[in-house]
A = this chain, B = another copy of it.
Amino acid sequence: MLFYWDIAGVFIFAISGALAGRQKSMDFWGIYIMALVTSCGGGTLRSILIGDVPPFLFTQPVYLIVAAVGTLFARFFPSLWDMFSREVSVLDALGLGIFVCIGTDIALDHGLSWWAAAGLGVITATFGGVIRDVLRNEVPLIFRKEIYATAALGGSLLLMGLQSVGLGQQWCIAIATVATAVVRLLAIRYAINQSSS
């Protein structure tokens, strides 16, 4: 189940990266690399920082494939993205939540303290977007969108809090993911410190 949400998050983030590349009139390869770094860059940086190399991107082909599908999707059906912008926002917010939970848990598995795990959860969820913005030569959006990183940090802390009271792992991840997504979506709804992403 976690795996499928991870894949869904990669897919959504890949489309967001591919569209960002498209705006800068990149060619197919450029757009694909944008899709890859946006969806897998945060997790790859986490892997490097905790010495968990080679990163998953180089051991499991599924990520390359999902990012390629997202790239094709962004290339041929960019208008669908606008048409379903509400659904896209929900999926994007859930992707943020699931990435935070995965990053936090992997850091804990590697023996890091809770505060370091929270940091790596936030990095996992947000640094793909930072690299995306650096590559397209813009000041990273996340640095000007407070609620995005705050939602991620809150989700990571909530996950560890729930785990520490002994709740089942599936429930912890589900609740923390949804809570992260809800905070994110409320921020969009009420336009708190928010651009269009």
Q: Taking beta carbons and an 8 Å cutoff, which residues of A are in contact with B?
A: 21, 24-31, 33-34, 44, 48-51, 53-55, 57-59, 61, 64, 110, 112-113, 115-116, 119-120, 130, 134-140, 142-146, 149-150, 193
Contacts and interface: CB of A to CB of B under 8 A. Distances in A.
Contact of A116 (B26, B33, B59): B59
A139 B135 contact: yes
Contacts of A27: 143-146, 193
A61 B119 CA distance: 11
A60 B171 CA distance: 31
Contact of A58 (B26, B112, B130): B112
B50 A53 contact: yes
A135 B129 CA distance: 12
B137 A135 contact: no
Given A49-B48, A54-B49, A30 B137 contact: no
A137 B139 contact: yes
Nearest to A24: B139
Contacts of A146: 27-30
A116 B64 CA distance: 10
Contacts of A119: 57-58, 64
A190 B50 CA distance: 44
A14 to B, nearest CB: 16
A143 B34 contact: yes
A25 B135 contact: no
A54 to B, nearest CB: 5
Contact of A49 (B53, B120, B145): B53
Give the 6 A-B CB pairs with smallest separation, nearest first. A30-B143, A51-B53, A27-B146, A58-B116, A29-B149, A26-B143
A134 B134 contact: yes
A175 B44 CA distance: 33
